[in-house]
C-alpha cells in the first residue's frame, strides 16, 4: 500500500508536467524525479492515461484492466459507512455501505482515478449531474457523488439485491411471454436513458438485475456516453475491446467505430436472443479478440427458433410464434445499422405487437437482399457467368425492394406540420395557412427531443396521414382558421399517424389585427400543450422554471407592423407569386425590427432563389449571404437558420466559414440530423469525403428516414462507394433528384443501359443533364456540342463539377475543363474525386488537366490549414 506522502509527491509532479509540451515535460520530469525511476514510471503512466481523455462515464469496475496504483483503505466516505466488499476490479472497488444518518444500504463505488485535471474534474461533475437525472423505476438511481481530498472520485448508487436477468428467468422457469415482459421493462429503461441523452454501451444480463419481486433494475452505466458529446467527438465515442463485452457488442463497436442508439438496440437484440434461445448468438468465449471481431462483424446468427428446435428435438409449436420472434431478434441485431429498429421505442412497439398477437412492423430480409449479400460476400467464388446472370436477375428488383423490405419503423418523436386550412370566406387571410404552421414548426424545432420536418407549404390540402407517411413522421400537426368580423379563430390538433388518434387539440380566439398576439398565443400553446404532448420536455421544463430558455427572445417579434409585413411576405413566398415584392416587404420589416431572426432567414432564402433562378446576380448572392449570417448570429441554435448559412457560404467560396458554422451547430445541437448534414455538406465541398461520410452516417443514425439526407449520396458517389450512395438516394425514392443521381451511379459503374432506364422523364435543368441526355440518346454531335457551348457556370460550384463530369462523358473536353475550373476556383475542391472519378477519365490526358488537379489539391490543403487554425 502506498503512503500518503508518496502519493502527494506523485500528484505534485504529475500536475507540474501534464500540460507541458513533450520536450519541456521531459525536462521537468527528469529534474523532479532526480533518479527516482519508480516515481518517473508512475507519473509517465498517469500522463499517458490522462491523454486518453477518459472521464467518469468511461470507468467500469468489472471490465477495465488494472491501473497503476492501489486505492487506499477507507472506512467512511461522505457520511457512508463501508460494511463489506461487493466487487473489485483494476480501476476501482464497489462496497456495500450504509448511510450513517438513515441506515439504508447503498452500493458505493470508488474509482482509482485520483489525478483529475481541471477539465476532467469539470467533465466528471457534468456527467454526474446527467446520470443523476435518470429517474426511472427500472434504473438503479445515482444518489450521491464526490471526490476525496486527493481527487479520487466516488459515487453512491442504489443497492439492488437481485440476480441477472437470464439467471432469474431460468430459476423461475419463465415462459416466453414472461421473458418478453421483463425484456420490455429493460427496453423502457434504455429508451428513457436515450431520451435523456445517454447511450449505455454495455447492455448485458449481469447489468440487468431482477429482484425477488420481479422488478427489473438496469445498472452500471460505467462506459455510457452522453449522446451530445458522443456525436461530436469521434474519439470519445469509441469503445475498445478492453472496455466492452464482445458477446453483446454491436459490429460497429467491435470495429471501434462511433456508436449510438443503434448499438444499444443491437445489444438488446442479443439479450432477447439469449432469453429465447437459451444461448448467445455467437460463442466468443474461447476466441481471440480478432476472431471474436470477425465472427460478430461478418457472420449471421442462427435463428433462435432453430436453436430451440434443435434442443427440443424439433418441437417449436404451440402458442409461440417463432417466426415473429426470429424477426424481433434478427431485426434488432442486423449487421447494417440502417436496417435495425430505428429506436428502442420501435423495438418496444413490436414486442407489444407480438404480445397482442398483432402483425409486426419489422419484416425479415427479402430473398433479394439475402441473395445480394451472398454475392457480395462470395464474389471471388462465383464464376463470371453466374455472377452476371444473377445481377441481371436481381438488379431491377433490388432497387425497388431495398427500402421496402428494411424494418419498417418510424423515427421516434418525428413531427410534421402541415398547412392550415382557411375555412372562412375572407381570402385576405390566406397567408396564415402557411405562416401559422410555419411558426409552429419553427418553435417545435427548438426542442432537442423532437425531430421536426421542415415545413412544406406545397402539401396544402393533402390527406394528413398520407403527407405524414411521405415525410416519415410519427406525428402530424394540422389545423384551420376562420376570420369572423374582427376576430380570428384558430384550431390546432396533433395526430398520431399510426392510429390516427388525436393526441392534443386546442382552439383559441384573438383579434385578427393583433398578429403579435397571435404569435404569442401560438408560442404559449406550443410550449405548454402541443410540445410536451409530442415529447418536447424542454417546453414544460422552461415553464416550471419560470423562464423561456427554449424560445429565446431573438426569435420573437417585437414590432406589430414589422411582423405583419413578415407574415404577408411569407404568405407570398410559398408559391413565389411575387418574390421581388416579398423581398421588399421583408426588408421593410427588418428595418422596423432588425432583431427578428426568422425574417433574416426568410430574406436569405428569398435572395438565394433570386440568385439561382431570377436575375438578381451578384447582388442577390451577397444579400443571401449577409442575411444568412445575421439570422444565424441572432439564433445560433436554429438548425434551419444555420443550414441556410452553411449552404450559402459553401456555394459562395467560403467553405472554411461554412465548416466553422456547421461545426458550431453540431456542438450546440448534436442530437439533430440536420446539423450533421450541414457539417457533411461543408466537408464535401472541401473534398474531405471520408469525414463527410461519417457525418452523413451519424445523421442517418439519428433520423433513418429523413429525405433531406439524400445529397449525402454525392460524398459516397465521389468516393466510389456506389451501394452506399444508392442507400441515401433511396431516402428520396422516385423524385427527379433520385433518378438523376441514380444515372450518375450507373454511369460510373459502366452501366449505360441501366442509366437510361433510371432517368427522369425530362432532363433536369441543372448540372449539365441536358447535354448528357442528348449524348445518351445519340442525338447529332452538333446538337450535343451546341448544348455544351451554351452552358455557363452557376452559383453552386458542386453543380459545375457535375456539369464537368457530364460534359466529359459526352465527349466535350474543352467545355468540361472550363466547367471543372469554374468549380475548383469557386471553392469546390473536387479532390480526390478529380483523381478517381470515372466520369472524368476522358479528359485526364488533356492539356490543362494537370493544372486543375494541382488546384484541387491546393484547395483542399488550404481548407485544412484554415480549419486547423
What is the grid cell recorded at 17? 508536467
Q: Are 33 and 39 in contact (CB under 8 A)?
A: yes
What is the grid cell recorded at 737? 433528384
- Rounded (10°) angle between helices 344-355 and 176-195: 160
Q: Are 69 and 112 in contact (CB under 8 A)?
A: yes
Going from the C-alpha of 1 to that of each of 5, 96, 287, the distances in angstroms are: 12, 22, 36
Contacts of 282 (CB under 8 A, 6+ apart): 247, 292, 295, 296, 299, 301
Which phi and psi angles does 821 have, rounded to 5°? -60, -40
Q: Are 155 and 142 in contact (CB under 8 A)?
A: yes
Residue 157, classed as helix, strand or coil, is: strand
Name the pairing type of β-strands 475-484 and 414-417. Answer: parallel
Note the residue count of the chain.
869
- The DSSP annotation for 537-556 comes to HHHHHHHHTT--SSS-GGGS
Going from the C-alpha of 612 to that of each of 195, 458, 594, 827, the distances in angstroms are: 40, 20, 26, 17
Which phi and psi angles does 232 have, rounded to 5°? -100, -40
Which phi and psi angles does 551 have, rounded to 5°? -105, 80
What is the grid cell recorded at 437? 404552421
What is the grid cell recorded at 782? 452538333
Told to judge if 202 belongs to the known catalytic residues of this protein, a careful annotator would answer yes
Give the separation between CA 838 and CA 120, rounded to whole angstroms: 48
* 3-class SS shares of the chain: helix, strand, coil, % to 5: 55, 10, 35
Among 181, 248, 252, 257, residue whose Cα is nearest residue 220: 248
Burial class (CB in 10 A: 0-12, 13-18, 19+), 384: exposed
Give the separation between CA 223 and CA 231, rounded to whole angstroms: 15
User: What is the b/e burial string over 393-417, where b = at least 16 CB atoms within 10 angstroms of the residue's CB?
Assistant: ebeeebbebbeebbbebbbbbbbbb
Q: Are 665 and 639 in contact (CB under 8 A)?
A: yes
Q: Are 186 and 165 in contact (CB under 8 A)?
A: yes
Among 867, 434, 438, 853, residue whose Cα is nearest residue 683: 867
Give the separation between CA 392 and CA 386, rounded to whole angstroms: 10
Question: Nearest 10 degrees: CA dihedral of 771, 775, 780, 785?
Answer: 40
Contacts of 380 (CB under 8 A, 6+ apart): none
Exactly one of 58, 144, 202, 637 is catalytic; name it.
Answer: 202
Q: Are 518 and 440 in contact (CB under 8 A)?
A: no
Which phi and psi angles does 259 have, rounded to 5°? -115, 165
DSSP state of 596: -
Give the separation between CA 828 and CA 799, rounded to whole angstroms: 10
Task: Name the residues annotated as catalytic.
Answer: 202
Amino acid at each position: 500500500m502506498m503512503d500518503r506522502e508518496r502519493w502527494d509527491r506523485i500528484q505534485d509532479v504529475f500536475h507540474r508536467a501534464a500540460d507541458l509540451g513533450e520536450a519541456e515535460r521531459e525536462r521537468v520530469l527528469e529534474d523532479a524525479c532526480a533518479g527516482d525511476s519508480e516515481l518517473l514510471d508512475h507519473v509517465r503512466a498517469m500522463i499517458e492515461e490522462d491523454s486518453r481523455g477518459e472521464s467518469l462515464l468511461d470507468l467500469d469496475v468489472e471490465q477495465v484492466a488494472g491501473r497503476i496504483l492501489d486505492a487506499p483503505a477507507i472506512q467512511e466516505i461522505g457520511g457512508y459507512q463501508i460494511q463489506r466488499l461487493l466487487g473489485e476490479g483494476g480501476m476501482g472497488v464497489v462496497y456495500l455501505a450504509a448511510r450513517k444518518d438513515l441506515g439504508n444500504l447503498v452500493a458505493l463505488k470508488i474509482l482509482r482515478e485520483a489525478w483529475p485535471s481541471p477539465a476532467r474534474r469539470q467533465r466528471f461533475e457534468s456527467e454526474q449531474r446527467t446520470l443523476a437525472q435518470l429517474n426511472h423505476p427500472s434504473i438503479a438511481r445515482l444518489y450521491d457523488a464526490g471526490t476525496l481530498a486527493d481527487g479520487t472520485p466516488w459515487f453512491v448508487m442504489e443497492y439492488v439485491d437481485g440476480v441477472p436477468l437470464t439467471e432469474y428467468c431460468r430459476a423461475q422457469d419463465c415462459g416466453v411471454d414472461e421473458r418478453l415482459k421483463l425484456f420490455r421493462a429493460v427496453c423502457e429503461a434504455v429508451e428513457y436513458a436515450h431520451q435523456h441523452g445517454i447511450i449505455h454501451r454495455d447492455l448485458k444480463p449481469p447489468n440487468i438485475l431482477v429482484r425477488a419481486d420481479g422488478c427489473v433494475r438496469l445498472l452500471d452505466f460505467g462506459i455510457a456516453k452522453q449522446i451530445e458529446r458522443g456525436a461530436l467527438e469521434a474519439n470519445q465515442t469509441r469503445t475498445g475491446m478492453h472496455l466492452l463485452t464482445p458477446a453483446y457488442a454491436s459490429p460497429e463497436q467491435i470495429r471501434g467505430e462511433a456508436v449510438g442508439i443503434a448499438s444499444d438496440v443491437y445489444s438488446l437484440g442479443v439479450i432477447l436472443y439469449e432469453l429465447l434461445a437459451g444461448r448467445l448468438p455467437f460463442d466468443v468465449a474461447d476466441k481471440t479478440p480478432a476472431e471474436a471481431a470477425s465472427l460478430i462483424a461478418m457472420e449471421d446468427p442462427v435463428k433462435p427458433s432453430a436453436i430451440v428446435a434443435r434442443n427440443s428435438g424439433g418441437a417449436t409449436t404451440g402458442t409461440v410464434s417463432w417466426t415473429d420472434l426470429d424477426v424481433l431478434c434478427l431485426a434488432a441485431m442486423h449487421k447494417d445499422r440502417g436496417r435495425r429498429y430505428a429506436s428502442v421505442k420501435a423495438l418496444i412497439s413490436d414486442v407489444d405487437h407480438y404480445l397482442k398477437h398483432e402483425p409486426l412492423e419489422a419484416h425479415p430480409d427479402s430473398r433479394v437482399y439475402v441473395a445480394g449479400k451472398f454475392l457480395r460476400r462470395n464474389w471471388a467464388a462465383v464464376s463470371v457467368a453466374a455472377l452476371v446472370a444473377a445481377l441481371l436477375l436481381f438488379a431491377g428488383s433490388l432497387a425497388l425492394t431495398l427500402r421496402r423490405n428494411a424494418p419498417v419503423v418510424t423515427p421516434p418523436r418525428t413531427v410534421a406540420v402541415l398547412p392550415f386550412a382557411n375555412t372562412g370566406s375572407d381570402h385576405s387571410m390566406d397567408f396564415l395557412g402557411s405562416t401559422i404552421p410555419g411558426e409552429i414548426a419553427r418553435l417545435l424545432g427548438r426542442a432537442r427531443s423532437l425531430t421536426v420536418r421542415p415545413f412544406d407549404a406545397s402539401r396544402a390540402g393533402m390527406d394528413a396521414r398520407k403527407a405524414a407517411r411521405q415525410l416519415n413522421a410519427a406525428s402530424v400537426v394540422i389545423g384551420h382558421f376562420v376570420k369572423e368580423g374582427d376576430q380570428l379563430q384558430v384550431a390546432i390538433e396533433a395526430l398520431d399517424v399510426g392510429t390516427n388518434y388525436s393526441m392534443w387539440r386546442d382552439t383559441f380566439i384573438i383579434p385578427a389585427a393583433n398578429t403579435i398576439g397571435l404569435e404569442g398565443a401560438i408560442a404559449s400553446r406550443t410550449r405548454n400543450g402541443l410540445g410536451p404532448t409530442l415529447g418536447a420536455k424542454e417546453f414544460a421544463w422552461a415553464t416550471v422554471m419560470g423562464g423561456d430558455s427554449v424560445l429565446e427572445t431573438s426569435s420573437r417579434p417585437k414590432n406589430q407592423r414589422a411582423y405583419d409585413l413578415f407574415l404577408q411576405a411569407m404568405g407570398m413566398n410559398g408559391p413565389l407569386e411575387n418574390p421581388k415584392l416579398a423581398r421588399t416587404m421583408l426588408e421593410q420589416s427588418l428595418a422596423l425590427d432588425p432583431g427578428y431572426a426568422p425574417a433574416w432567414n426568410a430574406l436569405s432564402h428569398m435572395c438565394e432563389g433570386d440568385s439561382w433562378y431570377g436575375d438578381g446576380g451578384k447582388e442577390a448572392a451577397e444579400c443571401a449571404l449577409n442575411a444568412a449570417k445575421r439570422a444565424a448570429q441572432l439564433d445560433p441554435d436554429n438548425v434551419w437558420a444555420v443550414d441556410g448559412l452553411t449552404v450559402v457560404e459553401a456555394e459562395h467560396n467560403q467553405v472554411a466559414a461554412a465548416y466553422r458554422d456547421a461545426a458550431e451547430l453540431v456542438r450546440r445541437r448534436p442530437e439533430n440530423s440536420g446539423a450533421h448534414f450541414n457539417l457533411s455538406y461543408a466537408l464535401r465541398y472541401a473534398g474531405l469525403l471520408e469525414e463527410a461520410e461519417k457525418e452523413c452516417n451519424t445523421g442517418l443514425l439519428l433520423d433513418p428516414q429523413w429525405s433531406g439526407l439524400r445529397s449525402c449520396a454525392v460524398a459516397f458517389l465521389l468516393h466510389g462507394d456506389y451501394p452506399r450512395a444508392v442507400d441515401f438516394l433511396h431516402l428520396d425514392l422516385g423524385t427527379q433528384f433520385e433518378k438523376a443521381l441514380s444515372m450518375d451511379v450507373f454511369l460510373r459503374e459502366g452501366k449505360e443501359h441501366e442509366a437510361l432506364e433510371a432517368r427522369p422523364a425530362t432532363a433536369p435543368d441543372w448540372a449539365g443533364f441536358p447535354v448528357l441526355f442528348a449524348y445518351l440518346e445519340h442525338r447529332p454531335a452538333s446538337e450535343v456540342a451546341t448544348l455544351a457551348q451554351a452552358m455557363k457556370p452557376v452559383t453552386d460550384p458542386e453543380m459545375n463539377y457535375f456539369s464537368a463530369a457530364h460534359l466529359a462523358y459526352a465527349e466535350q473536353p474543352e467545355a468540361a475543363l472550363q466547367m471543372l475550373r469554374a468549380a475548383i476556383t469557386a471553392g469546390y475542391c473536387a479532390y480526390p474525386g478529380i483523381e478517381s472519378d470515372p466520369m472524368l477519365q476522358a479528359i485526364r490526358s488533356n492539356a490543362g488537366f494537370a493544372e486543375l488537379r494541382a488546384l484541387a489539391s491546393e484547395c483542399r490543403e488550404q481548407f485544412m490549414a484554415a480549419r486547423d487554425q
